[in-house]
Amino acid sequence: MLKINQLHKSYPIGDSSLHVLKGIDLEVETGEMVAIMGSSGSGKSTLLNIIGMLDEADSGDYILDGVPIKNLNEKKAAIYRNKFLGFIFQSFNLINYKNALENVALPLYYQGLKRKERLEKGKFHLQKVGLLDWAHHLPSELSGGQKQRIAIARALAADPKLLLADEPTGALDTKTSYEIMEFLQQLNDEGKTILIVTHEEDIAEMCKRVVRLRDGVIEEDKKVNQVRASQYV
């Protein structure tokens, strides 16, 4: 599904540069649920951004679903993002003047689907996250958990091969966090590959595999016994 080989990335800071990723090797199989852990500055978000094609590595190989991701221009990157990836952000990043359904249907717009088709698909995914009744509400009228579920529905809308979640529970309380995790576990059970960046141990334990980053290298990579979120809810 995903193969990363000797990935390096540094950011210029003034005259010097900060070496954030110092040779990452990572392989993720289809159907895995991986938590990428690490303290702030460990490079976990950078890694996720490179996997998400939002950022480009300085050197190293990255192969996603058999396609080498290299020297992408913006247009190609956009098409790949749309086709392969679903993003879930810490701050939800819903478009605040669009209602829930329109937000969910937005990736489909960029896929060139007809409006009717888009709204149908959007409704299907809203149903999936249990928020069909809220389809015509604006994000400002929704709670944090609801917003994140809308964001997940949006990430799912384009039927991506890989879900990338950047601190998906970072802005939520514990109970809501577990609800979101329960939902993500369900998606994983259905076969979706999910990558979650987090710094919370309990969230990481709800994944099937934990990759720990420290100072730009992988410190630990182990399979864990998944803790089901449903038992807390």
98 binds another protein (CB under 8 A): yes
Find the binder of another protein among 18, 95, 224, 233 (CB under 8 A).
95
CB 162 → another protein: shortest distance, Å? 13
- Number of separate helices (H) and strands (E) present in the chain: 7, 10
Q: Are 229 and 178 in contact (CB under 8 A)?
A: yes
Question: Among residues 166 and 179, whose Cβ is nearest to another protein?
Answer: 166
Nearest to 163 by CA among 182, 188, 186, 183: 188
Strand order across the 2-13 sheet: 16-28, 2-13, 59-64, 67-68
Residue reference for tokens 């709670």: 143
Q: Are 162 and 191 in contact (CB under 8 A)?
A: no
Angle in degrees, CA 149, 126, 122, rounded to 5: 120
Q: E strand or H helix at 17, and its extent?
A: strand 16-28
Cα separation, 144 vs 14, whole angstroms? 37
Question: Among residues 1 and 79, whose Cβ is nearest to another protein?
Answer: 79
67 binds another protein (CB under 8 A): no
Find the binder of another protein among 44, 81, 125, 212 (CB under 8 A).
81
CB 160 → another protein: shortest distance, Å? 10
Residue reference for tokens 């819903």: 94
What are residue 20's DSSP bridge partners? none
CB 119 → another protein: shortest distance, Å? 11
115 binds another protein (CB under 8 A): yes
Question: Among residues 99 and 177, whose Cβ is nearest to another protein?
Answer: 99
Count the residues of the shown chain that bind another protein, applying the rule CB under 8 A: 25
Q: Are 169 and 180 in contact (CB under 8 A)?
A: yes
Q: E strand or H helix at 116, and its extent?
A: helix 115-128
Report the site for another protein in 140-199 (rule: CB under 8 A): 154, 158
Grouping H, G, I as helix, E, B as strand and the rest as coil, residue 25 is strand
Segment contacting another protein by CB under 8 A, of 58-66, 76-84, 142-150, 224-232 = 76-84
79 binds another protein (CB under 8 A): yes
Report the site for another protein in 9-38 (rule: CB under 8 A): none
83 binds another protein (CB under 8 A): yes
Cα separation, 194 vs 206, whole angstroms? 12
121 binds another protein (CB under 8 A): no
Find the binder of another protein among 5, 10, 49, 226 (CB under 8 A).
49
List residues near another protein by CB under 8 A. Answer: 49, 52, 54-55, 74-75, 78-79, 81-83, 87, 89, 93, 95, 97-98, 106-107, 109-111, 115, 154, 158
